[in-house]
Structure 1
Amino acid sequence: MLPEERPDVPREAEEEETGRRAGVERRARRRRYRPVLPSIIMGNVRSLPNKMDELAALDPASAGTAELDGFYTLLRADRSKESGKRKGGGLAVLVNDRWCNPGHITVKEQLCCKDIELLAVSMRPYYLLREFTHALVVVVYIPPFANADAACDVLLSAVSRLQTQHPDALLLISGDFNHASPSSSLPKFTQYVTCHTRDNKTLDLFYANTKEAYHSLPLPPLGRADHNLVHLLPVYKTLVHRQPAVTRTVKKWSEEAEEALKDCFNTTLWDVFSDAHGEDIDSLTHCLTDYINFCVENTVPTRTVHGASPTASPGLPRTLRLSGSPEGEEESFCVWK
């Protein structure tokens, strides 16, 4: 490799730029016009091969091309014989590569039976709020002839397993539920589809485990499909903006403050404490602790800090943002059934 050549390093693996001031609010201002949650297009399209041109036209990044390679990562759950149908069908999730690296996408669960078809996918995107460890997407199809109660039980079991394994994840459930309504089985989830998806009925539903997260807009059907598409736009307000700012007083430690505190301790007659309390260890410990705190209060300067509440930026041991994430993302991922 010549000296002037630069190695081919993935953008998400590059080191984060230095020289920027830290802080949750500053990071939020830098991403002011970017959605904090993924934007989603969902719908029952009946078949995909004959609709690839229209599908590509939904995203300006891939408009004018008949293929989606290089723009989306496709995850499929083809229909099996256990479904009771002879041909066709299945679930598919298209993930925008601008939103999540293909190497950070994992299929967590896949199920196909006569009552329900289910595909659960785990994603660790380039950027996600500190409130969530990662994103879990569950795609569901419940046939019209299925047992609604049995299908909801299977869905509830799968969601419960995912929540037990990943309690802090953003969990999204999308699907064509037909006559089944899992709202009673998922009391802690919010349903966001408010428009009709087939004639005057709302068969396609979308659930999330957080409130006030999305706003739904109807889109025309894809090709000759009998279901309208639904565009889920993120309207989520981050925790740091929902909670009021707080004012805290912190110690301003420095080498000068440490030296002054050492001088204070060196000039202290420690025998006075032991003589006054004798063999009472508990009383001696409390007295020494109060004296040390008194010295710190009078020696180390303090300053007032005005910022976000500690609960708005939990100190969880995780890294959710990789530097070098692509700019100007469109639909983060699309769900098709």
Structure 2
Amino acid sequence: MAPFNGDTFSRALMILLFLCVLLGAISAVSLKYSRDELLFLRSNVGEATTSVDLTEIETFCQPIEDNNSVQHVGQPRYTKHHRRKRGRRGGLLVKLRNRKGKTPVPSIIVFNVQRLYNKMDELIYRINNQNDYKNCCVFCFSETWLKLSHPDSILQPSGFTIYRQDRDPVITKKGKGGGVCFLINNKWCTDIRIISSGCYTDVEYLAIKCRPFYLPREFSSVTLTSVYIHPKADTDVALNTLSDVISSYENADPETLTIVAGDFNRANLKSVAPNYRQFVTCPTRGSATLDHCYCPVKGALQVNTSC
């Protein structure tokens, strides 16, 4: 083993001190970059081919001590809030009207028309000139007074499809009045089928199942039922019949959205179906509320009497 040399030890010590000083100087001048700065460098490394580009990157990547003092690239110094123009109406009803056929719950117009075929001119005029009628998803009519001699072609406006249940004079022993029908907007739904219908001495109804183009994921379909109960009917028998019908298609499809509307006169569906809510609270004929609209979902419908 070679003898230990003092000169070798002093040289090694000087080299070690030099390395310590060098590492300290490098750490003192080391650059710190934020995440956005590194992403900016990565996205511009292939584009920085000129001296101007390199100068811009070097200017941007200056050493920083506080990342909060750096303005991020691509972000404005202030956020501009877009305000609604003056004179434009706001509110939930306006937003729903702007959605037209893509509302979460279909818009429904309920009428006791008392003979439909002689009111078609007025209905077509309103559909052509009033947005509430044009964009309405469903028209629910009671007391249509239709017969087999009235073809569907004269009863459905352009863009709508009719589904009807006429009164059977043999069963009801009444030759005049009665009958229910739906007018469905083709912009809202075209996949429709009749699931139940009936014409009895105490109640007339028509139930259809719709699978519209737009529907919240909570519901698999929309089941609509149009009802007419005449003033002298046995309300207990009529409501029990309706309860059985509604229970049958609710059991078949528990995720369907059920809406029952029509002319109930003195009857109240809540007496046999307590989970259903009646949304029509304003008088519909004189001072009485005879036309009802029921749905089990709280707050699903809102009555608008301006139509």
TM class by smaller structure:
0.5 to 0.7
1:152 and 1:198 map into 2 onto residues whose CA distance is: 21
Aligned position for 1:321: none
Aligned position for 1:70: 158
Q: Give the letter aligned to residue 72 of structure 1.
A: F
Q: Give the letter aligned to residue 91 of structure 1.
A: V
**Could you list the per-position Cα deviations for residues 115-142 of structure 1 after superposition, in whole angstroms to 9, with x for gaps in the alignment?**
1001000111111010000000011100
Aligned position for 2:124: 56
Q: Give the letter aligned to residue 44 of structure 1.
A: N
Instruction: Using the TM superposition, give the Cα deviation of residue 186 of structure 1 relative to its aligned residue in structure 2, in angstroms.
Output: 1.3
1:192 and 1:48 map into 2 onto residues whose CA distance is: 25
Of residues 158, 164, 171, the one that matches 1:82 is 171
Q: Please say if residues 71 and 97 of structure 1, whose CA atoms lie closer than 8 Å, have aligned partners that are also in contact.
A: yes
**Residues 1-337 of structure 1 mapped to structure 2, 5 A cutoff:** 33-34=98-99, 35-60=103-128, 68-80=156-168, 81-101=170-190, 104-218=191-305
Q: Please say if residues 156 and 162 of structure 2, whose CA atoms lie closer than 8 Å, have aligned partners that are also in contact.
A: no
Moved more, 148-157 or 69-78: 69-78
1:161 and 1:67 map into 2 onto residues whose CA distance is: 30
**What root-mean-square deviation, in Å, do the aligned CA atoms of Structure 1 and Structure 2 show?**
2.2
Number of corresponding residues? 187
Runs (5+) with no aligned partner, structure 2: 1-94, 135-153
Choose between structure 1 and 2 for higher RCO, CA contacts under 8 A separated by at least 6 residues.
1
Relative to the length of structure 1, the TM-score reads 0.52
2:268 and 2:105 map into 1 onto residues whose CA distance is: 25
1:163 and 1:89 map into 2 onto residues whose CA distance is: 26
Aligned position for 1:287: none
166 and 50 in structure 1: CA distance in 2 versus 1, 3 angstrom threshold: same
Per residue, is there more strand in 1 or in 2?
1
Q: Give the letter aligned to residue 291 of structure 2.
A: D
2:184 and 2:290 map into 1 onto residues whose CA distance is: 23
2:178 and 2:283 map into 1 onto residues whose CA distance is: 22
Q: Percent identity?
A: 37
**Could you list the per-position Cα deviations for residues 78-117 of structure 1 after superposition, in whole angstroms to 9, with x for gaps in the alignment?**
000212211343111000000001xx11000010111100
Partner secondary structure for residue 111 of structure 1: strand
67 and 136 in structure 1: CA distance in 2 versus 1, 3 angstrom threshold: closer
Relative to the length of structure 2, the TM-score reads 0.57
Instruction: Using the TM superposition, give the Cα deviation of residue 173 of structure 1 relative to its aligned residue in structure 2, in angstroms.
Output: 0.1
Partner secondary structure for residue 231 of structure 2: coil
Instruction: Using the TM superposition, give the Cα deviation of residue 184 of structure 1 relative to its aligned residue in structure 2, in angstroms.
Output: 1.8
Structure index of larger Rg: 2
Runs (5+) with no aligned partner, structure 1: 1-30, 220-230, 232-337
